[in-house]
Amino acid sequence: MFNDLPIQYRDQELVRNAYNAAFHELGLRWFWDADTYERLTRGRSTPQEQVLHYLESQQPHLLKAYDAEFLISVILQKQSLHCERAAQRGPTRCRPFDWAQTLGGELGC
């Protein structure tokens, strides 16, 4: 299924999944589905703009506790690491993962 996608969509999926892995690793209880990611990339040219827009529109409470530049920097650092790992594995070894399944599975919930 994933490998049947045209290369540009595979790249988008790898990047989106890297964001979701970063959110999960940082303990942020959200994920970006394909529609959310597509909306965020439309009209916003940089990853910083995309993450900032999401934080401002969907997670504004975090901006009361944390500096926006700090949050964006940490998210993008983790996302970059996950992209590098995916690139090292190669597209044929990356399998789709349903990030919605990770929500609510934390200890103490």
Q: What is the mean pLDDT of residues 22-33?
A: 93
Within a domain: residue 79?
Answer: yes
Give dist(CA 67, CA 54) in Å, integer.
Answer: 14
The domain that holds 24 is classified in CATH as 1.10.150.240
Q: What is the mean pLDDT of residues 97-101?
A: 67
Within a domain: residue 100?
Answer: no
Each residue of 54-90: pLDDT tens digit? 999 999 999 999 999 999 999 999 999 999 988 887 6
pLDDT at 1 over 50: no
Q: Which of 29, 17, 33, 12 is nearest to 81 (CA)?
A: 17
Which helix (H) or strand (E) covers residue 21, if one does? helix 7-25
Q: Write down the pLDDT at residue 86.
A: 83
Q: Write down the pLDDT at residue 25.
A: 93
**Which pTM was predicted?**
0.78
> What are the backbone angles phi and psi of residue 6, rounded to the nearest 5°?
-60, 150
Range of the domain at 29: 2-90
Within a domain: residue 99?
Answer: no
Within a domain: residue 83?
Answer: yes
Q: Domain tally for the chain?
A: 1
Within a domain: residue 107?
Answer: no
